[in-house]
Structure 1
Amino acid sequence: MKILHVEDTPEISKIFADILSTKNYDFDSILDGRAGLELAIYKEYDLILLDMCMPKYSGVDFLLDLKSRKPSELSKVVIVSGLSMSSIQEQELLNLGIRSVLRKPISVQSLLSQVEPEIAF
């Protein structure tokens, strides 16, 4: 499975990389949303883990640009964010076509349930 993780906090990016590497997943971690979008457009991923709160180029910017440039990829996006969202905001994201929304702090089991949905925890 090929995974893209877009997260502006290096410490969180490192934690996700450690978790995914223990499972031997093929993944790219990127700290910049715009660079992450380019990877999502030009490379093939099975899953895109996206932080919503990034400076200069937010997760919303990423999603809107992804929708206009390669809408088929939206269903691969899992929002992983500490952002406080209302149920209406979360539903709007789901209506956009993303896979799901996970809240930080996130457990290893919650993360892996998105990567390995067929495994019940």
Structure 2
Amino acid sequence: MKILVVDDNKSICNMLQKFLEIKGHDCTVSLDGRNALDLMLHQKFDFVILDLTMPEFSGYDVIEELEKNGKVEEQNIILLTAASLTTDIINSLLKRGVKSCLKKPITPDVLLKTLMS
């Protein structure tokens, strides 16, 4: 699978990239939301693992811009966040086309199970 990992934390990106590549996936990393949005609008990814809270251009901003372009559903977005999200916020994100919301820290097994489901 072709997977885009988006997180402003370079350590998280590196860890996820190494894990996904060991599992045989093609992994691209972006450290900010604007760059990630550009990649998503010009390339097709099987999944996008997107940090929700990033400075300057957050995961929320990325989703909003994808909505304007009618491209949320085709991105297969899995959100990662350290923030506590209410059930209402999670349901709202799922209705907007996000496939799953995962809480940091995430284990490789949970991520793999989410990608395969």
TM-score bracket, normalised by the shorter chain, equals over 0.9
- Percent identity of equivalent pairs: 32
TM-score, normalization: structure 1? 0.91
TM-score, normalization: structure 2? 0.94
Structure 2: 5+ residue runs without aligned partners? Answer: none
8 Å contact kept, 1:74–1:99: no
Runs of 4+ in structure 1 deviating by more than 3 angstroms, as ranges, are: 72-75
Q: Partner of 2:29: helix, strand, or coil?
A: strand
Amino acid across the alignment from 2:109: Q
Query: Which residue number in structure 2 is paired with residue 6 of structure 1?
Result: 6
8 Å contact kept, 1:78–1:98: yes
Alpha-carbon deviation of 1:32?
Answer: 1.2
Give the count of matched residue pairs: 117
Are 1:95 and 2:91 matched, yes or no?
Answer: no
Q: Partner of 2:3: helix, strand, or coil?
A: strand
Aligned pairs for 1:1-121 (under 5 A) are 1-73=1-73, 76-117=76-117
Cα 1:69–1:2 shift into 2, 3 Å: same
Alpha-carbon deviation of 1:70?
Answer: 3.9
Q: Partner of 1:29: helix, strand, or coil?
A: strand
8 Å contact kept, 1:41–1:70: no
Q: Partner of 1:71: helix, strand, or coil?
A: coil
Amino acid across the alignment from 1:3: I
Structure 1: 5+ residue runs without aligned partners? Answer: none
Aligned-partner Cα distance in 2 for 1:98–1:20: 20
Aligned-partner Cα distance in 1 for 2:78–2:72: 14
8 Å contact kept, 1:76–1:99: yes
For residues 65-121 of structure 1, what are the alpha-carbon distances to aligned partners after superposition, in whole Å with 9 as ceiling and x for unaligned?
Answer: 01112425455001011111111111110111110101101111110012222xxxx
Amino acid across the alignment from 1:13: C
